[in-house]
C-alpha cells in the first residue's frame, strides 16, 4: 500500500512539474463595427504560466475567411507569445469565428474567438 501511494505521489509531482498553460490577455477580440476593407489583423497575446516550454502545434479556424498564424518557436516559461489572426473584412455583415489551438499545454485544446460587424464602405449616413 505504501509503494502505491509513493508511486501516485511521484506521478502527480511529475505531471505538475511538466505543466504548460496559457494565460490569455483576452480570449475574445471584438472588431466592433468596422468598414469594409479596413484593418484585418488582430493579435491574441498570452503568457506561458507553466514551468515548461509551451509548443503550439496547430491553430485551426472555423472558416477560410479567418486565417491564424501561430508562433513557430516554443514559448518558454514566464515568456509572452502571440497568435495573429486575419479576417476578410470585405465580407459585409456580422461575423463570429472560433479558433482551436492545439498544443502541449495541460489543456490540449484551447479556443479563442473573434467577432464584429462589417459595414459597406460607401454607405451614406441617413439624415
The CATH number of the domain where 115 resides is what? 2.60.40.10
In a domain, 92, yes or no: yes
In a domain, 126, yes or no: no
In a domain, 127, yes or no: no
Structural domain that includes position 115: 2-119
Q: pLDDT tens for residues 58-112?
A: 999 989 999 999 999 999 999 999 999 999 999 999 999 999 999 999 999 999 9
Q: Which residue has the cell 463595427?
A: 33
Mapping DSSP onto H, E and C, the string for 96-120 reads EEEEEEEECCCCCEEEEEEEEEEEC
In a domain, 12, yes or no: yes
pLDDT of residue 116: 97
In a domain, 67, yes or no: yes
pLDDT of residue 16: 45
In a domain, 93, yes or no: yes
pLDDT band at 20 (very low <50, low <70, confident <90, very high): confident
Amino acid at each position: 500500500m505504501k509503494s502505491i501511494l509513493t508511486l501516485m505521489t511521484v506521478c502527480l509531482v511529475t505531471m505538475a512539474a511538466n505543466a504548460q498553460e496559457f494565460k490569455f490577455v483576452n480570449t475574445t477580440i471584438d472588431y466592433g463595427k468596422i468598414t469594409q476593407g479596413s484593418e484585418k489583423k488582430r493579435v491574441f497575446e498570452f503568457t506561458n504560466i507553466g514551468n515548461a516550454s509551451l509548443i503550439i502545434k496547430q491553430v485551426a479556424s472555423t472558416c477560410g475567411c479567418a486565417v491564424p498564424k501561430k508562433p513557430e518557436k516554443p514559448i518558454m516559461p514566464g515568456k509572452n507569445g502571440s497568435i495573429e489572426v486575419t479576417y476578410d473584412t470585405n465580407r459585409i455583415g456580422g461575423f463570429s469565428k472560433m479558433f482551436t489551438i492545439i498544443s502541449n499545454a495541460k489543456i490540449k485544446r484551447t479556443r479563442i474567438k473573434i467577432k464584429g460587424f462589417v459595414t459597406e464602405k460607401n454607405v451614406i449616413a441617413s439624415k
